[in-house]
Copies of this chain bind each other. A is one copy, B any other.
Amino acid sequence: MSLIVVGSMAFDDIETPFGKSNRIIGGAATYIALAASQFIRPVNQISVVGYDYPQEELAELERFGVNLEGVQIKKDRKSFFWAGKYHMDMSARDTLVTELNVLSDFDPVIPESYQGAEFLMLGNLSPDVQLKVLDRLRERPRLIVMDTMNFWMDTALEALHRVVARVDVLLVNDAEARQLSGEFSLVRAARKILGEMGPKYLVIKKGEHGALLFHGNTVFCAPALPLEDVFDPTGAGDTFAGGFTGHVARTKDISFENLKTAIIVGSAMASFCVERFGTQRLREIQLSDIHTRIRQLADLVQFDIDFN
């Protein structure tokens, strides 16, 4: 009963320089849950899908230890659909289609069995929905992690600030940290967000350049694995979040030291995610693959200081 994951479940059309995928399974909560399930089960999912969401995909999630009691199935509506196209450098993408469908009026219901969860991962979603989840939990989880994106800063900034004020860890990318703080320097952005907005920890995701974890006046810099090809970046940020919260929920340790390790776990998980289209790679990997990759990340930054 330890980890609750909130977010979208979706169909994605994805086009990258390496190819196209057609109506594959996606959504923030799907990526988060698949990544977190490597470390903790059950993952208590809160989401919504339509009649068109394949039964076998739900069964597959259950095999990964994802508890779907909190996933509403709307019999007369279609699932959330997103289509996007990546540019050559893979760090920029165009959204071609967004059909909110069931997501447009998503009213999250928290099953009684989810109450009392120690850890909460609020995946990228409307701040209003994120707020509803917070309001409907009778006990505050020990650690609340929140992902968001620039879209909500543009369209729902006030509600977004109300969520941010109530979470422990905020995950954003570098451009979003700049937008939210109005500061160009990431160090200044972090000081403002941590000093004035509520969270105790700020994670700034920088894609191929790794991630930064800010806490008080301390910074931790996590590398990203240098990859030969990034096949499809979709879901990499969600997968990072899933690895991060999965590790924390497994170890039940919310110290700064352990959050640093959690960032490394997140970075390792994200490095798998981008190797194939959609969630494919996340369904193939074993814990031993993950440990190997974490060891690679450790080796990547290891050096001797020689003052002699």
Contact = CB atoms under 8 A, between A and B. Distances in A.
Nearest to A209: B209
Copies of this chain in the oligomer: 2
Interface stretch (A55-63, A95-103, A162-170, A220-228): A220-228
Contacts of A303: 220, 222, 257, 260-261, 263-264, 298
A92 interface: no
B226 A261 contact: no
Interface of A: 88-89, 184-188, 206, 208-210, 212, 219-223, 226-230, 251, 257-258, 260-261, 263-264, 291, 294-295, 298, 300-308
Given A89-B184, A185-B227, A261 B305 contact: yes
A220 B227 CA distance: 13
Contacts of A185: 227-230
Nearest to A229: B185
Which among A219, A230, A303 has the highest number of chain B CB atoms within 10 Å? Answer: A303
B227 A184 contact: no
A117 to B, nearest CB: 22
